[in-house]
Amino acid sequence: MTSLSQLRVKIFADGADRESMLDMYARPYIKGLTTNPTLMRKAGIANYRAFAKDILSRISDKPVCFEVLADDFPEMERQALEIAGWADNVYVKIPVTNTRRETCRSLVKRLADRQVKLNVTAIMTLAQVQEIVAALNPATAS
């Protein structure tokens, strides 16, 4: 059986509970952490920015992903730029489509070209993968 240290994939822990995030962070096989507004709401987080900055004050050497809250692309972009400014290890989560099923391709391209590290989420089809990969900037981590 392959050991965790031999895996060629990167395992990211998903959650919104501070203590469990810090516990997962301490595990060497966890390569990054991610959360989302739904998980944070369920965990009782009332101040998204304060929670994120608290986590980032303790986790600076692994990627941490925080998602935009907006559903319209101009506001998603504004939020993405703010979130990206919280720390060097932040990746901004952008859903592949908004609730109107409009693609985020143009937004991803603009953000990647501005060196915003991205985690495009909720991808369900090969066509979506191809569309997003074409929009990414190879010089920007994603």
Mean pLDDT of 8-15: 88
Residues marked as catalytic: 93
Sheet containing 30-34: order of strands:
11-14, 30-34, 64-67, 90-95, 118-121
Mean pLDDT of 8-14: 88
pLDDT tens for each residue of 62-84: 999 999 999 999 999 999 999 99
What average pLDDT does the chain have? 94
- So what's the pLDDT on residue 4? 65
pLDDT tens for each residue of 111-129: 999 999 999 999 999 999 9
Domain boundaries, the chain: 1-67, 72-87+95-142
**Is residue 8 scored above 90 in pLDDT?**
no
CA distance 121 to 7: 22
- So what's the pLDDT on residue 10? 86
- So what's the pLDDT on residue 5? 66
Phi, psi of 103 (to 5 degrees): -70, 145
**Is residue 59 scored above 90 in pLDDT?**
yes
Q: Output the pTM of the full model.
A: 0.91
CA distance 62 to 49: 19
